[in-house]
Structure 1
Amino acid sequence: MNLSKLRLHPLWMMLVGIAAVVMFSGFWSGKTVEEKRSDRLKTSEETLQLLYKHAPEAKEMVANSYGYAAFSNVGVNLVLLSAEGGTGVAHVNGTGKNIYMNMASGGAGFGLGIKDFRAVFLFKDKEVFDQFVNKGWEANAQADAAAKLADKGDAYGAAITVAPGIRLYKLTQNGLALQATIQGTKYWKDGDLN
């Protein structure tokens, strides 16, 4: 097969993206809205606990932020196409309000496999939080950072600034990700759960 002649039609790319969103959104789960909300809250709490395990100092940063958003994401690479989809909860610390959110990305690139990662966004103030939640947010630029993985790692240094007033921790089950890349990822409110 001559790969130089293979073209990725925009329709195929769109179908991969739609498939990823449907596949990862729990569309066919058969769960009620309340069960889906409960699952998201549980996953959000697990994500925070994973962060605190690997960067204990982050607990104070989360508590001192206006709010945070915790996401669980699964990515699939199938030869020349990749798709990621995930769900999350954005939380306002002062009021306790939760907003249920989705995330997705797709692209082209050689690979095969599945990856699972978590992300925690911290918001400096109401303005950046509201912008993220109400208007959606798309990470167009690649954000990379080196994280300290020692037992006494520096939590502030492990969080990277991805936009003015927004910091990000990216985690795997093994701890803080050495590289936090969120290029091409779109975040938006879940119309069914809010």
Structure 2
Amino acid sequence: MTFDDLNLNTPLRTALEELGYKTPTTIQEKVFSIVMSGRDVCGIAQTGTGKTLAYLLPCLRQWKFSKDRSPQILIIVPTRELVAQVVETVKSLTTYMSLVVVGVYGGVNINTQQAEVLKGLDVLVATPGRLYDLAMNGAFKTKMIKKLVIDEVDEMLNLGFRTQLKNILDFLPPKRQNLLFSATMTEDV
């Protein structure tokens, strides 16, 4: 199987070619059609197997431009380093798309991040704590969220984010697609 077999749009195919990606990994191949069908996913794969592209490719393939720039895709990750990594991956995949991605995390001035979120965006990548703070401040509009990705859900639970995740889920529209990804399958996950 190649990325051409996934029926990606031209901007995504071109970006993948320029990034040197030729064939999808096992997790990418297995998850793509399930996400495209609208079903929820719990993807388990070891670190380094391409989980990030496994959820980004179908999410970005289904993304539709919206003038109001409310986030359609919400990606929650456990650390600021992972926020930066996912934001960079989204940017590299959407070089030929008119999409705005913003990453937010704790440890920096919330006002700067809040202003950036209020400007409008399509994809929000966030740590649970900062996302919850932005939601409580009213800076984060959730009504247009179509896809919720929780990456490294096992790590988030290990770090004690269970309560924050539950609170965040209460803010989100009930009609959405949920994509959970983890390196390990524990009872908590």
Q: TM-score, normalised by structure 2?
A: 0.24
Larger fraction in helix: 2
Which has the larger Rg? 1
